[in-house]
Amino acid sequence: MSTHDATSANSKAQGPISQVLTPVRGRLITAAVLAASGSMLTLVPLAVIERIARLALGDATHVAGDIGWLLLVGVASLFCGMALLCAGELQAHLADNRITHQLRLAIVQRLTLVPLGWFTGRASGEVKRAMQDDIGTLHNLTAHFFTTLGRAGGALLIGVIYLFAMDWRLALLSLLPFPGFFLFLGRAMKSSGANMQEIVTGLGRIDNAVVEFVNGIPVIKAFGSSGQAHVRYREAIDAFAQTFIAFTRPLVAAMANANAMVAPVSVLGVVLASGTLFVSQGWAAPLDVLPFALVTPGLCAPVLLLHYILHDLGSATGAAQRVQALLQTPVLEQPAPGAGQQPQGNELRLERVSYGYDPEHPVLADIDLVLEPGTTTAIVGPSGAGKSTLARLLLRFFDPSTGRITLGGVDLRQLDSASLYRHIGFVLQDVRLIHASVGENIALGKPSASRQEIEAAARLANIHEQILRLPRGYDSVVGEDAHFSGGEQQRLSIARAVLLDPPVLVLDEATAAADAESQVAIQEALARFSQGRTLLVIAHRLDTVMHAERIVVLDNGRIREQGRHSQLLEHAGLYARLWRLGGYGDTRKEQVAQPC
């Protein structure tokens, strides 16, 4: 096996937590060792107490001097141990700061390279959960898990060694409750794991029922069916309650038994019973029982701490898996730095392009199309024909499964994003505004634009007057003192495109969310802006594109017809049928005003 193959295999074999924590593994190990050493030193005073008790109750001479030295050793060990614990915590938190910064930066960098179409199939909450909630969960792992593991492990290790050094027989009896604890804990974990999927499924049903109820409130009010509205929610709650009871009953019983086994009182009782037996049989002196009475109950807290952090480890594993999945999101092919080519002209050409969200069901198949500079091409067809998908391929929301798309003779995959969007602008039916000022929203693609340039773009987009009526004009913040209708949002999107001044413009149902008045304003804005540009228009209303130089009719992902409006009507094919179904009639051919 080659070195590369071995490395790849090793990476795949690593768990999600190991992969995420690789950059700070050394720091975390150091933090755990410091915490373990500190924990051991903080237990030295217990041994000092036992030794002082022997001296105080014995007949040794110079007792006061020996006790003084022992106190000095105990206090020094305590403070050194606390210092090491603080150093371990500091090291762990520094590692956490580093990995948190690296992960968030890596996720942002990854998301800048994924296809834009990836975002359309996901809620923003999914990215937020990974970037904030899941990385917050990993904070408990990096900042606290390893130091806690070190403290608990160090305390258990030094405690067990000390007890066995005192008397291995009494140590075995004194430590008997701890194997019982792990036995009950194992049963509880097994029971929890067996039912966890049912719990997750039940919570999912509740979430779905809540969403269904909230989304259906207008219908419920309209039809007065409030009595039935919460039935599914109540059923989901009742089913989850039964599942939760079945989940918790064996878990609570097992954990109650486990905690009872290692309660300090229980452990001390076992120590005293075992010590009494040893003293009565003459196997040990009464003072020999003292270290076991002091140290053994102190081991209960580290054991319970191990249980809690093991539970946190399960949550961290799920969080690490989601973070890793986001970091492994497929990205668009990028040209090497400095190797990006520049288009020679603005001709767009699709060569045997096919694409499918599902490889077995292509949305587009064998598309050959040329968008000549300065012409208007309209894409029409029934719903689901692949019109919007074709537009998004031109914008590189996705890459074709087969074939290629070129701009000025250069494959889009060889263009960096900045160069691509300098040449191709777009106005889509789904407009996204960010929480920023109106001016910043318009200048989103050109942050260096001056206020004069922004206002000029807004005037051309027929939105300038509406912006001036806002409380702070262009400085008004979207979502706070700036609220826009669907048509106004479309005009803001047009202003963005105007500011970039691209030679190619893609319009995908630009007036879909607008009322009649807004449609007129949008069409006027587009008519001015599109002059001299290469235009690709996606439309459902055929009368808005009847004057295009070329109309391409898509059906089931394939080009069925193409030509001018009059030619397609004479052909009496799919376009003519769609025209008749739209209720336009041949007599209206020349009566409709020329569109944008």
Dig out the tokens for 126 from the structure. 């999914």
> Are the C-beta atoms of residues 564 and 570 closer than 8 Å to each other?
no
In the chain, what is the greatest distance between 2 CA atoms, to the nearest angstrom?
Answer: 124
Secondary structure of residue 52 in the 3-state scheme: helix
The 10s digit of each residue's pLDDT in 101-124 is 888 888 888 877 777 666 665 545
User: What number is the average pLDDT over the span 503-522?
Assistant: 68
CA distance 240 to 200: 10
Query: Which domains are seen in the chain, by residue range?
Result: 12-166+305-331 (1.20.1560.10), 168-283 (1.20.120), 348-588 (3.40.50.300)
CA distance 93 to 88: 9
User: What number is the average pLDDT over the span 67-82?
Assistant: 87
Quick one: pLDDT at residue 318? Answer: 74
Dig out the tokens for 507 from the structure. 């319009």
The 10s digit of each residue's pLDDT in 404-414 is 999 888 888 88
**Residue carrying the six token digits 């537009």:** 391
CB count within 10 Å of CB 442 equals 28
Is residue 4 very low, low, confident or very high in pLDDT (cuts 50, 70, 90)?
very low
Least confident of 177-191, 518-532, 549-563: 518-532
> Are the C-beta atoms of residues 99 and 142 closer than 8 Å to each other?
yes
Helices marked H in 132-176 = 135-139, 146-166, 168-174
- Cβ neighbors of 219 (< 8 A, separation 6 or more) are 225
> Are the C-beta atoms of residues 490 and 523 closer than 8 Å to each other?
no
The 10s digit of each residue's pLDDT in 36-60 is 999 899 888 888 887 887 777 765 5
- Pick left, alpha or beta for residue 435 (phi over 0 → left; psi -120 to 50 → alpha; otherwise beta): beta
Given a cut of 80, is residue 329 above it in pLDDT? no
Amino acid at 568: L
Q: Does the reported pTM lie above 0.95?
A: no
The 10s digit of each residue's pLDDT in 222-269 is 555 555 556 667 777 777 777 777 777 767 777 777 778 888 888 889
